[in-house]
């Protein structure tokens, strides 16, 4: 049963790849935020708060429908911590009901055997956990020691694909931890990736010394899946080199915040700042051709992956404006402060 479900997911992903090659007028991937609150407070993270309420389920279903109407292929629930949303499984079911691949990024703390079975029933297809260290410290509590039992539960029960992302870069004290995490992921049958993290202000710190050595070792670890096909993107970042690529954020990739506004990504909140309910094919086409000044040193690999289908076509002609006006959401959400 598990193998058949994962095979079905893989076949759907191949169909979506063909769709992406045939048409540029739809998002490949959207990150949808059901709650900004997180149960942790990692020092490098700028994507959470400690107090936000969950977005009502009726509004989340509406946003899923709006993304489906734009032709979105994959929706990844993120945060904050999405497992804090009291009706998360209903959101996942709504995504699947519209024929969209359902994915989630979580810190894993709230996973249990019961919750994994609930995610199976809801139809989740992908899950990623980022683990920052082997032992918790004052920078991050996302440690292998704390989460290993959760990983064992996932290996035993999950019908969905699981990727474990270890990290290198700013605030990571022991780079060998990433290697231990990657090897444990492979031992449990998961895919593994490594991310180069930014600091709390979104700035990149190039790798050096043992960090660079661990990065090279991790490239040879585990299965070679879609999350790793942009390896050269990470290699340039590890060396502190810019990447020459066409970022299609706002078109192939959308970041929809808890207020229902569309942004380029988690690190460029405020651009373009348009309510999802007002986002149109004209917006997609404009952003598809908009050159983003932040692209050369971008660390957001999911945006890079979503843009890969279009590296060879449609050169970007316009420059990203210094700032764009934020339209007031029709759903009654708040405004995003432009930086």
pTM of the model: 0.88
Asked whether residue 338 is domain-assigned, the answer is no
Closest CA to 64 of 34, 94, 85: 94
For residue 108, which phi and psi values (nearest 5 degrees)?
85, -10
> How much is the pLDDT for 224?
52
Asked whether residue 52 is domain-assigned, the answer is yes
> How much is the pLDDT for 267?
85
> How much is the pLDDT for 325?
45
Residue 198 in contact with residue 168, Cβ under 8 Å? no
Is residue 330 over pLDDT 50? no
- Four-CA torsion 130, 133, 135, 138, nearest 10 degrees: -90
Asked whether residue 165 is domain-assigned, the answer is yes
Residue 238 in contact with residue 312, Cβ under 8 Å? no
> How much is the pLDDT for 6?
81
Is residue 9 over pLDDT 50? yes
Q: What number of other Cβ atoms are within 10 A of residue 261's Cβ?
A: 27
Q: Is the peptide bond before 80 cis (omega within 30 degrees of 0)?
A: yes
Residue with tokens 């009291």: 86
| pLDDT tens-digit map of 177-211 | 999 999 999 999 999 988 776 655 555 667 878 88
What CATH number did the domain enclosing 9 receive?
3.20.20.70
Asked whether residue 201 is domain-assigned, the answer is yes
Asked whether residue 50 is domain-assigned, the answer is yes
Residue 107 in contact with residue 129, Cβ under 8 Å? yes
Number of domains in the chain: 1
> How much is the pLDDT for 223?
59
Contacts by 201-209 with C-beta closer than 8 Å and gap 24+? 201/46, 202/46, 202/267, 203/170, 204/169, 204/237, 204/240, 204/297, 204/299, 205/169, 205/170, 206/237, 206/238, 206/239, 206/240, 207/168, 207/169, 207/238, 207/239, 207/240
| pLDDT tens-digit map of 52-90 | 999 999 999 999 999 999 999 999 999 999 999 999 999
> How much is the pLDDT for 73?
96
Tokens describing residue 317: 């002609």
| pLDDT tens-digit map of 247-272 | 999 999 999 999 999 999 998 888 99
Residue 187 in contact with residue 249, Cβ under 8 Å? no
* pLDDT > 70 fraction of the chain, expressed in percent and rounded: 87
| pLDDT tens-digit map of 83-128 | 999 999 999 999 999 999 999 999 999 999 999 999 999 999 999 9
* Distances from the Cα of 229 to the Cα of 166, 186, 194, 209, angstroms: 16, 17, 12, 25
Go through 233-242 and write b for each residue having 16 or more CB atoms within 10 A of its CB, e for each that does not. bbbbbbeeee
CA distance 239 to 252: 27
CA distance 193 to 234: 10
Asked whether residue 328 is domain-assigned, the answer is no
- Reported as a pLDDT band with limits 50, 70 and 90, residue 300 is confident
CA distance 52 to 198: 24
Asked whether residue 275 is domain-assigned, the answer is yes
Is residue 304 over pLDDT 80? yes
> How much is the pLDDT for 261?
97
Q: What number of other Cβ atoms are within 10 A of residue 41's Cβ?
A: 11
Asked whether residue 271 is domain-assigned, the answer is yes
- What is the extent of the structural domain holding 250? 2-319
Q: Is the dihedral of CA 175, 177, 180, 186 positive or negative?
A: negative
């Amino acid at each position: 049963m598990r193998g058949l479900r994962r095979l079905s997911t893989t076949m759907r992903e191949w169909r979506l790849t063909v769709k992406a090659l045939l048409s540029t007028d739809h998002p490949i991937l959207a990150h949808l935020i059901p709650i900004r609150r997180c149960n942790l407070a990692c020092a490098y993270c700028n994507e959470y708060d400690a107090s936000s309420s969950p977005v009502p389920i009726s509004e989340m279903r509406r946003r899923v429908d709006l993304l489906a109407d734009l032709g979105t292929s994959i929706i990844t629930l993120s945060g904050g911590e999405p497992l804090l949303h009291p009706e998360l499984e209903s959101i996942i079911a709504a995504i699947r009901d519209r024929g969209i691949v359902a994915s989630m990024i979580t810190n894993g703390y709230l996973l249990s055997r019961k919750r994994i079975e609930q995610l199976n029933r809801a139809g989740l297809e992908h899950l990623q956990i980022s683990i920052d260290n082997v032992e918790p410290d004052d920078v991050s509590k996302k440690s292998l020691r704390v989460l290993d039992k959760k990983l064992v539960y996932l290996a035993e029960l999950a019908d969905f694909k699981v990727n474990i992302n270890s990290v290198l870069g700013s605030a990571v004290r022991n780079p060998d931890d990433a290697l231990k995490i990657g090897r444990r992921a492979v031992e449990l049958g998961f895919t593994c990736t490594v991310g180069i993290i930014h600091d709390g202000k979104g700035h990149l710190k190039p790798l050096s010394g043992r960090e660079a050595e661990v990065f090279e070792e991790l490239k040879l670890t585990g299965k070679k899946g879609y999350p790793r096909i942009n390896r050269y993107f990470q290699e340039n970042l590890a060396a502190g080199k810019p990447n020459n690529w066409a970022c299609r954020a706002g078109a192939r990739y959308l970041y929809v915040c808890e207020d229902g506004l569309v942004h380029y990504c988690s690190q460029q909140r405020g651009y373009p700042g348009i309510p999802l309910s007002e986002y149109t094919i004209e917006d997609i086409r404009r952003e598809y051709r908009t050159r983003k000044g932040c692209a050369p040193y971008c660390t957001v690999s999911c945006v890079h992956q979503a843009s890969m289908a279009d590296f060879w076509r449609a050169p970007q002609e316009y420059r990203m404006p210094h700032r764009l006006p934020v339209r007031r959401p029709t759903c009654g959400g708040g405004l995003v402060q432009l930086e």
